[in-house]
Structures are given as structure tokens and as C-alpha cells.
Amino acid sequence: MPELTHRHTFALPSHCKQLESFTSVASLLAAYRTDMPVYILGGGSNSIFIDDFEGLVLVNDIKGIDVQHDEEGVRLTVGGGENWHDLVTYTVEQGWHGLENLALIPGSVGAAPIQNIGAYGLEVGERIEKVDVVVLDTGEQFSLSQQACEFGYRDSVFKRPEHNKWIVTHVHFFLPHNAVPITRYAELDALINPTAKDIFNTVIAVRQRKLPDPKLLGNAGSFFKNPVISKQHYTELCGRYGTVPGFEVDAANVKVPAAWLIDNAGFKGQCRDGVCSYQHQPLVLVNQSATSGLAVVAFAREIIDTVYTRFGVQLEPEVRLVGKTGLVTL
Ligand SMILES: Cc1cc2nc3c(=O)[nH]c(=O)nc-3n(C[C@H](O)[C@H](O)[C@H](O)COP(=O)(O)OP(=O)(O)OC[C@H]3O[C@@H](n4cnc5c(N)ncnc54)[C@H](O)[C@@H]3O)c2cc1C
């Protein structure tokens, strides 16, 4: 059975029944099978294989970057199998503003719109003009506009269960000449008139300081999303616990850092059966020495239950857990 251990950054020992790479729509459709479960894989940095997958894993290897210039800016059409950080590096090297805040996020270009990757004040959906899709069952191909992608916080139309056969083949980006550097995030606000390269370098330095390198310590980035709670609930928490960090989402809701909740529930640096809440960033669960997905599931459930009991806040996973036949919910 082909091994998946080093095809996902959490690196749990795991296998699948069959593994194929595709370099074009034609080779994707030729490799697709209807007689077993199918999982589309990019860089595996948002997927944890908690069991052996009893199906076909299709790895996106569609390559290519096409560049068009016009008066307004630069338009890029990028194959879904390109590496995300390499794309960001390429644009920064050309002196183009637009993607630099998203430096060093692992994974593929094709997966970027799926959860609308975001960091340091920018979400990728803001730079996407359209996304090319092929439907596995029918072979139908179409493009979705930015609006049709329904981008939200770590969310898009691609995450709806009814669209799980929609495969992203190419992503179209627009980097406007008049893009304003985004420096509102704390660690970037000391930069004065920064170039794309200044922001890129600062983001990389901050990320290297804060986040574990998956090549050295298995992890899938933030394990949970930052929950959104009502203002009333937020005020109650502040009354009980003093200052609770929070970011206003709209007139009625506040986003609370999941890291604060996990830390204040006592989990920072804690380990269970080889899975740990990372000591420098408790929102990241790391694979210290785990041998089975059961340990990941048990620890994640313990964190969810404890945070709910203590703060009345429901945590939701950001990572995708893949079991024997497909996605598993906690
Ligand atoms: C150290 C670290 C830091 C991270 N930091 C961030 C961060 O700052 N911000 C952030 O948003 N994320 C972050 N992540 C999460 C992750 O890097 C992103 O979600 C990334 O986009 C995943 O890309 P991938 O190719 O590895 O996805 P995979 O794990 O391979 O796939 C993710 C999901 O997308 C689906 N998928 C993949 N490719 C396609 C396709 N072509 N068509 C349809 N579906 C597809 C898969 O089936 C799966 O459900 C981080 C992860 C790590 C390990």
C-alpha cells in the first residue's frame, strides 16, 4: 500500500490503497475511479490522515505560471500543483505587491482557495479573480468568479459537502499596480513605506520565530479556527476573566483567539500520547511521537470539551481529518 506518512505535514504513519499524481485535467479524469473513496491532496499541510485511507489519493501536480500585464496590474494564471510559497517568492522577486503577507504558508496553489488561506491582514480571496474547476463525476469544466467562490474566514464554496467533487485546476490572481501594502498587523506596523520584499522578509522572520517547521516537527498549522461569539458572551467572559483578547467582526460579534482559550484552559505545552499543544503557540498541535490518529482525535476532543465547559465557546477544527473512507468530524 502506498505510504502517506510524508505526504502530509503532521506525518502520522498512514497508507492508502492507491496513489496517483495528475498533471492535467485529462490525466486527473483518467486516474479517477468511482469504485472507491477519493481524496484530493496538495501539500498535505491542512490534512491529517488519522487512519489508513481505503481509497485513491489523487495528488495535484498541475504546473505552470502564465503572466499577463495591463495598465491596471499583473494577471497570473497558476497551475494548482504549484507550491504556494514559491509563487509568493516569485511575485515578490518581480517587485509585485499583493501576495507578500501570505509568505511561508505551506501547501499548493490549488488548495489556497479551499479554506481561503489568510495571514497578517490578508486573505487570498482578495487577490483571486477566478478559479478554474473540473467536476470529477462529469468532467464538466467551468470558472468561478471571486464572488461565486463565497470566500469567508477559512471558508469557501469548495468546502460545501455537495461540491466535494469540484477540483481546482488553476487559480487566476490579479495584483493591481496600486495595491497598498498591508501593515496593520502588529508585527508589520513598524515598517515605513515598505516594499513587497520588506513585508515578505518580516512575515517570514515572524513565522519562523512563532511556528514549528513541519520538516522538523510534524504539524498542520492552526488546528482550530478562531471562534466568533456574541458581544454579550464576550462581555461576560471579560467580566469573569479580566482582559480577553477579541476582534470586532461586526456590530454583534467578536472573534476570540482560540490560542487564548486553549492556553487559559491549561493546555499550552501539554501532551497526550505523543500529541502536544505547541509551547510557543498552543493553537498548533504537534506530532511529538504519535503513532496513531486516535491520539490526535482524543486530544482534540479533550480540548474542545474543556474549552466549552470553561468558556461556553465551541471550537471547530480548521484542519481536515481523513479517516478510512474520507473526512471525519470531531
Ligand atoms: C506550519 C503551518 C502553517 C500554516 N499557516 C497557515 C496560515 O497562516 N494561514 C492559513 O490559512 N493556513 C495555514 N496553514 C494551513 C495550510 O498550509 C493551508 O490550508 C494550505 O492552503 C493547505 O494546502 P495543501 O496543498 O497542503 O492542502 P492539503 O492539505 O493537501 O488539502 C487541504 C484540503 O483541500 C483539498 N484540496 C487540495 N487541493 C485541492 C484542489 N486542487 N481542488 C479541490 N480540493 C483540494 C483537500 O482535499 C483537503 O481537503 C498552515 C499549515 C502549516 C503546516
What grid cell was written down for 192?
515605513
Which of 16, 38, 41, 46 to mutate for ligand 1's pocket (most ligand atoms within 8 Å of CB)? 46
The separation between the first and the last C-alpha atoms of the chain, rounded to the nearest angstrom, is: 27
pLDDT at 186: 79
Domain finish residue from 34, 60, 86: 60
**60 touches 42 (CB < 8 A):** yes
Q: Is 222 a catalytic residue?
A: yes
**CA 233 – CA 238 distance, rounded (Å):** 9
pLDDT at 2: 97
Tell me the β-bridge partners of 230.
253
Q: Which of 4, 51, 10, 52 is nearest to 275 (CA)?
A: 10
Q: Are residues 56 and 186 in the same domain?
A: no
Q: Are residues 145 and 93 in the same domain?
A: yes
pLDDT by position in tens, the chain (length 330): 999 999 999 999 999 999 999 999 999 999 999 999 999 999 999 999 999 999 999 999 999 999 999 999 999 999 999 999 999 999 999 999 999 999 999 999 999 999 999 999 999 999 999 999 999 999 999 999 999 999 999 999 999 999 999 999 999 999 999 988 999 887 898 999 999 999 999 999 999 999 999 999 999 999 999 999 999 999 999 999 998 999 999 999 999 999 999 999 999 999 999 999 999 999 999 999 999 999 999 999 999 999 999 999 999 999 999 999 999 999
Q: Are residues 284 and 245 in the same domain?
A: yes
40 lines ligand 1 (CB under 6 A): yes
CATH number at residue 30: 3.30.43.10
Expressed in angstroms and rounded, the spacing between residue 41 Cα and the centre of ligand 1 is 9
Q: Is 154 a catalytic residue?
A: yes
CATH number at residue 304: 3.90.78.10
Sign of CA pseudo-dihedral 87, 117, 224, 291:
negative
Expressed in angstroms and rounded, the spacing between residue 49 Cα and the centre of ligand 1 is 13
Q: 148: helix, coil or strand?
A: helix
Q: Are residues 36 and 81 in the same domain?
A: no
Q: Are residues 69 and 35 in the same domain?
A: no
206 lines ligand 1 (CB under 6 A): no
pTM exceeding the 0.85 threshold for the entire prediction: yes
284 lines ligand 1 (CB under 6 A): no
| Ligand 1 atom nearest to 320, measured from its CA | 49
**CA 282 – CA 263 distance, rounded (Å):** 6
105 lines ligand 1 (CB under 6 A): yes
Tell me the β-bridge partners of 60.
22
Structural domain for 289, as ranges: 217-328
Q: Is 184 a catalytic residue?
A: no
Q: Are residues 119 and 228 in the same domain?
A: no
| Ligand 1 atom nearest to 115, measured from its CA | 19
